[in-house]
């Protein structure tokens, strides 16, 4: 006989089809949990949609409203599509598609009336749970997803006939534990599926940099603490003043902005083949190919809509095929749609080879632009006696004098001659102001020059890895001197503290630093315990991204190769033992497997936390039957125990107590707390029966006077 659940326990209604209000509440809670995983990246009005649907179903359950008609449901879907279209300007982006999935998931509750509909809701919730990893794959999302998964699985357990919360959650825990080994095996050896995780995504650039900059642009990045990439060095680590991470090179100046020119554009402009400007492979095809790189490191890159790959100086070698550009920058074959690992080697210095575009390309300036700067360049050139090195030193020395100042909040420049406006007007700026002015002044003297945009510095963590953020963005100049490109950073002349200690050390305009991140934990770096806590969390998150999320490709191949190598060595060792020893080891192995299986089965059958009393009683009755005392046909378990009690000697009281507890659990309307207490008592009585049972059988015990027939 199937026992009813406790009074007040939410269950599926008796007909097995219609859902109770408690089950609908459980589905709604599951929807809220799934929505919580997405809410940081989705519109807040989804909360209102969820509440509206739940309110309608609640009123309907109380018979105040009719069932949602087909017209109402179609109108709701149509309104959802229009709202998403207005939010994203279409349905082609990933965020809009995820929003459509979530909206349909929430609206499904309007037509959920039986078990089949409820199972569909749970399955859609599981799909939406997986989709949440398209937003982020960090530790908080993974832990939250585990909680949501447990809730959805226990909802399925209720829909499959669970009688109470303990049984539902027990089955959930058991299924999750059983699936964990399979999940781990698939994770370790099964290849990733790129189409799922590389969906067309946003046009966001995680570096915060663009391929065109004007004075003041990079200053905006000092307001953000967004992470650009992280790096772990294998060997020598450069000092802070030498951590120049180049992202791309800007060689065209139109009088206002510096722009990057792509290899196809250079090919069309200069009449040279594209292969002169870009080569694909694992090694750079320019400069001293056989030269040994100075730095070796592993980059953990944030998602980026563009294919740029930062490198410490000139890239030389990569672990996977990349696009090496002649201007000293590096590109991937495609944009990163999720975090990715890249092992790279580089020189740490500017390129030592000439750009195929030639010196003339890097000396071009718009005719007639910035006349006051041209006059200054002629005067400084004359004072330097036509020596390029002395001329460049004079330009930098001018920046080191008052009233020039380095600030995180530079005044805005709107004119057409912005170099003039900066040099003779505001005289206050950020790295792009000084880099642009230096490069223009170099070109005015006929010295080939270009701007490199990237990052400088990075926060070093106690475990050795570096974190580079948006506020580390930097721009500097490269000039062609004596057969090689030479780095020229005017920021070192005006604000040396920026070079050594980062943007946070700049005093001028400090209020702009992290202005867009008011709740950033970086603001607590002055509090020792809070900073240690932040660093510990970032280290955990870094190891998670690097070891778990970044586990793919070569790491999987190396693991499989090691496993196959270990298996081959084991087989060779067994063959060397000879046939008889092999048979003996095989027999011992089978015996160990059988013993482990028996022990596991015993633990599963008699585990004290198991909520299934009928299973325990069946196991006890089978144990009694093996000792010659089976139950009679049609006899209840309680009657069986009472029938044996008068003849069981010391085990008799335990048999009677167990029968009483069993009947109370099966038929009495007990509160949840009392039911849990009775279960624990029953478990103790069942163990006591086995412990006190006569050891030598009925007949031998009867002769000793213990059992009375």
Q: Can you tell me the distance from the alpha carbon of 676 to that of 359, in angstroms, rounded to the nearest whole number? A: 85
Give the contacts of 24 (CB within 8 A, at least 6 positions apart): 57, 58, 61, 109, 112
CB 361 within 8 A of CB 355: yes
**Long-range CB contacts for residues 519-525, cutoff 8 Å, separation at least 24:** 520/225, 522/225
CB 271 within 8 A of CB 304: no
CB-count burial class (<10 Å; 0-12, 13-18, 19+) for 671: exposed
Among 702, 613, 687, 632, smallest CA distance to 654 is for 687
The DSSP 8-state label assigned to residue 67 in this structure reads P
- Active site residues per annotation: 431, 474, 489
Question: What is the greatest pairwise CA distance in the chain?
Answer: 127
Among 466, 493, 501, smallest CA distance to 477 is for 493
The count of residues in the chain is: 709
CB 202 within 8 A of CB 95: yes
Beta bridge partners of 459: 467
SS (H, E, C) 401-434: CCCCEECCCCCCCCCCCHHHHHHHHHCEECHHHH
Q: Can you tell me the distance from the alpha carbon of 388 to that of 443, in angstroms, rounded to the nearest whole number? A: 11
691: part of which helix (H) or strand (E)?
A: helix 672-692
Q: How many C-alpha atoms does 89 have within 13 Å on its Cβ side?
A: 2
Cα 709 to the center of its chain, rounded Å:
71
The two tokens of residue 188 are 């370790």
Give the contacts of 643 (CB within 8 A, at least 6 positions apart): 632, 635
The H helix count followed by the E strand count for the chain is: 23, 19
Characterize 334-347 residue by residue with b for buried, 16 or more Cβ atoms within 10 angstroms of its Cβ, and e for exposed: ebbbbbbbbebbbb
CB 280 within 8 A of CB 324: yes
Regarding beta strands 405-406 and 428-429, do their DSSP bridges make them parallel or antiparallel, or are they unpaired?
Answer: parallel
Give the contacts of 243 (CB within 8 A, at least 6 positions apart): 312, 455, 456, 457, 458, 466
């Amino acid at each position: 006989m199937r026992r009813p659940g406790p009074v007040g326990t939410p269950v599926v209604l008796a007909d097995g089809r219609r859902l109770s209000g408690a089950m609908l509440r459980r589905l709604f809670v599951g929807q809220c949990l799934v929505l919580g995983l997405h809410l940081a990246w989705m519109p807040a009005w989804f909360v209102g949609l969820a509440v509206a649907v739940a309110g309608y179903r609640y009123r309907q359950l109380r018979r105040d409203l009719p069932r949602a008609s087909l017209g109402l449901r179609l109108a709701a879907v149509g309104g959802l599509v229009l709202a998403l279209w207005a939010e994203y300007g279409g349905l082609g982006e990933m965020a809009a598609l995820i929003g459509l999935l979530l909206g349909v998931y929430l609206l499904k509750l309007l037509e959920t009336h039986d078990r089949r509909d409820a199972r569909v809701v749970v399955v859609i919730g599981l799909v939406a749970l997986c989709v949440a990893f398209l937003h982020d794959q960090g530790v908080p999302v993974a832990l939250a997803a585990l909680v949501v998964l447990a809730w959805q699985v226990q909802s399925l357990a209720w829909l499959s006939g669970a009688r109470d919360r303990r049984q539902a959650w027990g089955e959930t825990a058991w299924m999750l534990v059983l699936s964990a080994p399979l999940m781990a095996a698939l994770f370790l050896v099964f290849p990733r599926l790129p189409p799922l995780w590389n969906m067309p995504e946003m046009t966001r650039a995680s570096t915060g940099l663009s391929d065109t900059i004007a004075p003041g642009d990079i200053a905006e990045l000092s307001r953000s603490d967004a992470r650009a990439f992280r790096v772990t060095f294998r060997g020598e680590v450069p000092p802070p003043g030498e951590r120049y991470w180049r992202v791309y090179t800007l060689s065209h100046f139109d009088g206002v902005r510096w722009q990057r020119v792509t290899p196809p554009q250079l090919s069309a402009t200069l009449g040279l083949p594209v292969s002169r400007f870009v080569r694909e492979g694992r090694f750079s095809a320019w400069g001293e190919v056989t030269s040994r790189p100075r730095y070796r490191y592993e980059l953990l890159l944030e998602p980026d809509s563009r294919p740029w790959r930062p490198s410490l100086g000139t890239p030389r070698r990569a672990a996977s095929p990349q696009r090496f550009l002649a201007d000293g920058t590096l590109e991937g074959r495609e944009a990163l749609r999720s975090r990715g690992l890249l092992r790279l080697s580089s020189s740490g210095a500017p390129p030592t080879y000439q750009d195929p575009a030639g010196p003339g390309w890097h000396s071009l300036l718009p005719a007639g632009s910035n006349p006051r700067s041209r006059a200054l360049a002629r005067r400084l050139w004359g004072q330097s006696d036509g020596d390029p090195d002395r001329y460049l030193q004079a330009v930098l020395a001018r920046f080191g004098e008052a009233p020039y100042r380095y600030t995180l909040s530079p005044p805005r420049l709107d004119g057409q001659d912005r170099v003039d406006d900066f040099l003779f007007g505001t005289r206050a700026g950020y790295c792009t102001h000084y880099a642009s002015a230096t490069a223009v002044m170099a070109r005015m003297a006929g010295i080939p020059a270009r701007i490199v945009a990237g990052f400088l510095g990075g926060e070093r963590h106690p475990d050795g890895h570096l974190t580079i953020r948006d506020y580390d963005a930097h721009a500097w100049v490269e000039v062609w001197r004596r057969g090689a490109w030479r780095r020229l950073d005017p920021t070192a002349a005006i604000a040396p503290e920026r070079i050594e200690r980062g943007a946070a050390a700049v005093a001028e305009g400090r209020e702009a630093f992290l202005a867009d991140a008011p709740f950033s934990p970086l603001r607590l770096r002055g509090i020792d315990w809070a900073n240690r806590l932040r660093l510990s969390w970032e280290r955990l998150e870094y190891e998670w991204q690097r070891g778990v999320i970044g586990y793919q490709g070569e790491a999987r191949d190396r693991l499989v190769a090691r496993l196959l190598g270990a298996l081959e060595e084991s087989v060779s060792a067994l063959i060397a033992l000879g046939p008889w020893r092999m048979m003996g080891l095989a027999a011992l192995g089978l015996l160990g497997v059988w013993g482990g299986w028996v022990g596991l089965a015993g633990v599963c059958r008699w585990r004290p936390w198991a909520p299934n009393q009928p299973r325990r009683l069946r196991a006890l009755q089978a144990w009694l039957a093996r000792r010659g005392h089976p139950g009679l046909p049609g006899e209840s378990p309680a009657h069986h125990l009472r029938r044996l009690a008068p003849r069981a000697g010391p085990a008799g009281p335990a048999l009677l107590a167990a029968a009483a507890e069993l009947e109370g659990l099966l038929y009495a309307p007990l509160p949840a707390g009392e039911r849990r207490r009775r279960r624990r008592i029953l478990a103790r009585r069942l163990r006591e029966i086995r412990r006190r049972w006569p050891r030598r059988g009925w007949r031998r015990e009867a002769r000793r006077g213990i059992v009375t027939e």
